Structure 1
Amino acid sequence: MRKPVKTPEQQFLFDLQQAEKGRFQAVKWLGVLIALAIVAQALGLATVFAELVLEGRFPLEAAALAGGAFVLKAVLQFCREQICATASRNIRFSLRQRLIDHLTFLGPKRLELDEDAGLSTRVYEQVDALDDYFSRYVPQVFLVTFVPLTILFSVLPVSWIAFAIFAFTAPLVVFFMILVGHKAANANRKQFQVLSLLSNQFMDLNQGLAELKRLEQTDSARERLALTASEYQRTTMGVLRLAFLSTATLELFSSVAIAMVALYLGLGLLEQLPWQVGVAPVSLLAAFYLLLLAPEFYLPLRQLGNDYHAKQKAEAAATQIAEVLALTHADSCDLAATNDPAASAAQALPLIEFKALHWSNGGRVRLANLSAQINPRDRVWLRGHSGVGKSSLMAILLGFEQHFQGQFLIEGQPLRPTEMAAWRRRLAWLPQTPEWVQGTIRQNLELGVGHCTDDALRNALIKAQCWDFVGSLRFGWDTAISEAGTGLSGGQMQRLSIARALLSQADIWLLDEPCSSLDSETAEQVLNTLDEASYGKTVLIISHDTHPVIWANQQWLMTEEGVHVEAQTPITYV
């Protein structure tokens, strides 16, 4: 018999589950003991009730059996829940760490998937959405199989009619559970999409609030955010409605099935069954036994129905989590190695060289032919209109894109994946919008650099022309700032980015539109600061004509046809 084919989402969740295979195996054995304890408890209670009614005595042995089984079942269920909670926590912790590491590795390429706010929703909200799946649904799948089967085999020798009722109604419960569950899956996927959109809009509003106030557009932004929030509320209520519908459906079928068993046993004890008038098909002991087992038979099915929406929610979350992990770099590049024996003389070679470098993605040209070189301590100004490939070139230099053609050489050698970490340690990257975290100025400056001495921190701030405004703050470099740099201007934030680059001790600086969001006067001040701070460094800076970099010794113009070196002045550092 062929095994059912797993969907990609199910396979992803199954692979995660394997990390805690031992704990889930222990949960299965606990389920076996729970099933046996249920049967023993029903047998003990049925004996107690039957003898109290028929003989008027209280059987201590049967009461001890029922009480012992009840306590054992409670202890086993507690242990089972604790093991499942631990397994779920370990899986989610390792998955979240894996996602964060992967997003860090992707760098700016992660923005192909979603904005940072949407990605943070996947890392936190959607990873936590897997909790109920691993802590409740996965262990319940085994319990819903073993407990009913154990009860069926226990019922068959007592009453084949009760056995038939159980066997006939159980598949109906499962069928309606799956029927409603598929609708819940679609609703959960839509809910996650709206939540991601809401997170992105909230982050955009938070970052651009000052600009919106200046343009008097705060009302329209608030209305847009309110509409998305209302949509999220509507999708959430849709998910809850389906969850309640699933629960109500399962409760209805379970109640009807238990009522059928009770009706059969009641008429049988009264000897009023239409096909067996005057004869009791079961004894009072057997009737109590069957009646006590009936709710226990449907309880795992009802519980699985309640947890089934957790499975659909987890699969919806797994779809978007897997998208993040599926976005990877090529393990190898289309690079041609050089066998030139003169390559050993690294000092005679350009630091960075492009030979017929071009990159196409899905038929769209991302970067045209580029043949140029950057020598040590060169400072290159690259300009060109939007869409010609400036940011794509920066992504290649940072090692975040490797699906290109041509040659990208570092000191005469191709950049290989195994050398990527060493290459990135030589780089300082200043993007259009530098990233900051909630914390002090010092913590942000040391981010990715490590602990710095006070002297090193002070020297970097002085060289980056930050010392005056940082020293004027009440707590100096221990002043807290937000992700948006609350309390500091755009020019001050860019100077702090320059200070962070100085602390990194990197010898190659890559700057992508560092003055894009600044006015002309502030942009000129930042460029003057860069001129002084980057002295002796190798620099590639992307900047529009509105912010000319007059101190660069090379000027490149990038077009759809390629890159043209417009001006080149030899460096004369002493």
Structure 2
Amino acid sequence: MDKLRQKHLQKWLRAQQAPIQKLMRTNIALATLSALILVAQTYFLAMLLDKLIMQNVSRNELIPYFLGLIICFTLRAVILWAREKIGFEAGRQLRNHIRQKILDKIHLVGPAIINQKPAGSWASIMLEQVENLHNFYARFLPQQSLSVIVPIVILIAVFPLNWAAALILMVTAPLIPLFMILVGIAAADSSQKNMDTLARLSAQFLDRLRGLETLRLFNRSFEQTQHIEKTTEHFRETTMDVLKLAFLSSAVLEFFTSISIALMAVYFGFSYLGQIEFGTYSTPLTLFIGFFCLILAPEFYQPLRDLGAYYHDRAAGIGAADAIVDFLETDYLTTQQNERTISLESAVEIRAENLVVLSPQGVPLTQPLNFHIPSNHNVALVGQSGAGKTSLINAILGFLPYQGSLKINGQELSESNLAEWRKHIAWVGQNPLLLQGTIKENLLLGNIQANDEEIDRALTRSQAKEFTDKLGLNYEIKDGGMGISVGQAQRLAIARALLRKGNLLLLDEPTASLDAQSENLVLQALNEMSCYQTTLMITHRIEDLKQCDHIFVMRQGEIIQCGEFAQLQREEGFFAELLTQRQQDIQ
């Protein structure tokens, strides 16, 4: 990672702290108060030692100093506890804030972008990489301010007593951040590589886990296990590189801190022996001054040492932010959100004029399309893979941008409130998503407010009631839809779409993975559904096409034929070729 990229990422990380400015300022204010109490605590301790050793003062006269020490220790402990709580809360709020920004961007770009990365990579960004930002805000940023404030407070306390001791602190202090920066440059690179390796490992492991059945059937489990083992070993090596640099930076800081403190101890030692006679403003060098300066010397470097220890958190934060910022700052063409609501008092009517669907990168995915879908019509969209059918569906859903005109009930879709528009769409895909949970919980995804009567009616119309009565609505579906058959899952998806009560029904190969019996049941349910709203279906099956009012035939991103099934069947053209090929496949 080059320096310009690191600077940009650090600038972005700092810009995100706006929601927690009050917490950060409170943390720094408490730390500054703790530094002032430390000076008072050191004063009490140095006075106690001076009076006990040099002045032989009675112990009764020292009681106020002991009480002062106890109060100072207690106050600093309370402040430390409060700072830890505030730091954790600041990190928690920032993680939630950044996760919300990622989720908002994911929601904005839609599935067209999400499907370009494995699910494990998104999980890594949302979980591990955002989690690695916590210490940057909870520890590093407050400590960066304290590494300036606390030494200044101590210098102000030391300088009036002995300028030579203060000068030693001032001269040796810059050595620590200098070497800290040198080590930190390499640490940021190592952290970024570590995050990249973790993202790849997460994606590969999740994908292999999902495809375990296929891998075992083709006897490739051992090779994939070796591949994961190799990636895991690489992740271990990058993690150890990060830790090595972290320990190296700590060792360097401890070394220079020890030398600096030793230098001050040597100065006071020779001063008490009468070998050095400067730095005291021509006043006697008392034991109080020596103890006061020597006790504060480690505390002078402690904020810098803590900053060095937390400098690894900065490197980890920059490394973790790389993928996050890359996603958040990449400009994708998206459909813009507007406040205008589409009038949907009746079924949906769709009209397209010179419609060109675009990818998020701005690449045309279709030729200019012109078509009209009347309300309450059942329309099929057919064509070979790559013809542009799914791109058109994604444009209607509002997931892909477009050029030209796409009007829903006479209103331009790009000028409409897409969130409201999607509430009126019912969707049944080729591989319906069923989440881990009960059958009822999955059905309520269509309409969270549906009552038992509505659920029962939807199950009956979707031909799913026959098996839900046996299993029960509280039957637990495992992750990935395990526990029910593909046909049962498809009928549950139809029941969920029925509960949606949408004005537009979109179907993407709803019978592609079904056996003949399940297919007939699903088609029967879909026929009933299509009577109540406008239906647009992607399909290859002849059986699905005969029931449609209209058929659009697509090839290479262009609608080349349209009409009823009987009409297109008689015409010579691409549709007739598709029918012939389909009949040969069936035979």
TM-score by length of 2: 0.85
CA shift in 2, pair 1:315/1:5, >3 Å: closer
Matched letter for residue 465 of structure 1: Q
Can you give the 5+ residue segments of structure 1 that lack an aligned partner in the other structure? 338-342
CA distance in 2 between counterparts of 1:198 and 1:520 reads 41
Counterpart of 2:42 in structure 1 is 42
Query: Is 1:568 matched up with 2:560?
Result: no
CA shift in 2, pair 1:365/1:186, >3 Å: same
Counterpart of 1:359 in structure 2 is 357
How far did residue 231 of structure 1 move? 2.5
Can you give the 5+ residue segments of structure 2 that lack an aligned partner in the other structure? 568-587
Mapping for residues 45-56 of structure 1, pairs under 5 Å: 45-56=45-56
Cα contact 1:329–1:400 (8 A) shared by 2 = no
CA distance in 1 between counterparts of 2:5 and 2:222 reads 51
Cα contact 1:350–1:411 (8 A) shared by 2 = yes
CA distance in 2 between counterparts of 1:453 and 1:350 reads 26
Counterpart of 1:198 in structure 2 is 201
Counterpart of 1:340 in structure 2 is none
How far did residue 518 of structure 1 move? 5.6
How far did residue 228 of structure 1 move? 2.6
Mapping for residues 95-114 of structure 1, pairs under 5 Å: 95-111=98-114, 114=117
> How many residues are paired up?
555
CA distance in 1 between counterparts of 2:335 and 2:395 reads 14
CA distance in 1 between counterparts of 2:202 and 2:520 reads 35
Cα contact 1:377–1:536 (8 A) shared by 2 = yes
How far did residue 200 of structure 1 move? 2.1
Counterpart of 2:224 in structure 1 is 221
Query: Is 1:400 matched up with 2:399?
Result: yes
Helix, strand or coil for the counterpart of 1:114? coil
Query: Is 1:478 matched up with 2:480?
Result: no
CA distance in 2 between counterparts of 1:104 and 1:364 reads 21
Counterpart of 1:236 in structure 2 is 239
Matched letter for residue 99 of structure 1: I
Cα contact 1:515–1:547 (8 A) shared by 2 = no
Query: Is 1:261 matched up with 2:260?
Result: no
CA shift in 2, pair 1:185/1:385, >3 Å: farther
Helix, strand or coil for the counterpart of 2:433? coil
Cα contact 1:356–1:371 (8 A) shared by 2 = yes
Matched letter for residue 162 of structure 1: A
CA distance in 1 between counterparts of 2:275 and 2:512 reads 89
CA deviation profile, 1:181-230 (whole Å, cap 9, x unmatched): 22222222222222222222233233323333333333333333333322
CA shift in 2, pair 1:296/1:322, >3 Å: same
Query: Is 1:556 matched up with 2:552?
Result: yes
CA distance in 1 between counterparts of 2:34 and 2:83 reads 10
Matched letter for residue 47 of structure 1: M
How far did residue 561 of structure 1 move? 5.5
Equivalent residue for 2:96, pick from 93, 97, 120: 93
Query: Is 1:175 matched up with 2:178?
Result: yes
Cα contact 2:382–2:540 (8 A) shared by 1 = yes
Query: Is 1:73 matched up with 2:76?
Result: yes
Counterpart of 1:370 in structure 2 is 369
CA distance in 1 between counterparts of 2:222 and 2:84 reads 49
Counterpart of 2:124 in structure 1 is 121
How far did residue 432 of structure 1 move? 4.1
Cα contact 2:357–2:395 (8 A) shared by 1 = no
CA shift in 2, pair 1:13/1:421, >3 Å: same
CA distance in 2 between counterparts of 1:207 and 1:492 reads 21
Mapping for residues 417-496 of structure 1, pairs under 5 Å: 417-473=415-471, 476-496=472-492
21-30 or 211-220, larger mean C-alpha shift:
211-220
How far did residue 101 of structure 1 move? 4.5
Helix, strand or coil for the counterpart of 1:429? strand
CA shift in 2, pair 1:514/1:80, >3 Å: same
Counterpart of 2:27 in structure 1 is 27
Equivalent residue for 2:537, pick from 529, 536, 541: 541
Counterpart of 2:583 in structure 1 is none
How far did residue 526 of structure 1 move? 4.4
225-234 or 133-142, larger mean C-alpha shift:
225-234
CA distance in 1 between counterparts of 2:145 and 2:39 reads 17
Cα contact 2:357–2:392 (8 A) shared by 1 = no
CA deviation profile, 1:484-537 (whole Å, cap 9, x unmatched): 111222232222211111110112122234455567886676455434443443
CA distance in 2 between counterparts of 1:5 and 1:210 reads 42
CA distance in 1 between counterparts of 2:390 and 2:488 reads 24
How far did residue 147 of structure 1 move? 0.4
CA shift in 2, pair 1:372/1:487, >3 Å: same
CA deviation profile, 1:216-254 (whole Å, cap 9, x unmatched): 333333333333322222222222222222222211211
CA distance in 2 between counterparts of 1:550 and 1:482 reads 36
CA distance in 2 between counterparts of 1:159 and 1:272 reads 16
CA shift in 2, pair 1:421/1:332, >3 Å: closer
CA distance in 2 between counterparts of 1:517 and 1:175 reads 64
CA distance in 2 between counterparts of 1:311 and 1:417 reads 43
Query: Is 1:252 matched up with 2:255?
Result: yes
CA distance in 2 between counterparts of 1:331 and 1:60 reads 74
How far did residue 397 of structure 1 move? 0.6
How far did residue 552 of structure 1 move? 2.5
Counterpart of 1:140 in structure 2 is 143
How far did residue 291 of structure 1 move? 0.9
Cα contact 2:195–2:320 (8 A) shared by 1 = yes
Equivalent residue for 1:315, pick from 315, 318, 342: 318
Query: Is 1:297 matched up with 2:303?
Result: no
Helix, strand or coil for the counterpart of 1:20? helix
90-99 or 134-143, larger mean C-alpha shift:
90-99
Cα contact 1:442–1:478 (8 A) shared by 2 = yes
Helix, strand or coil for the counterpart of 1:478? coil
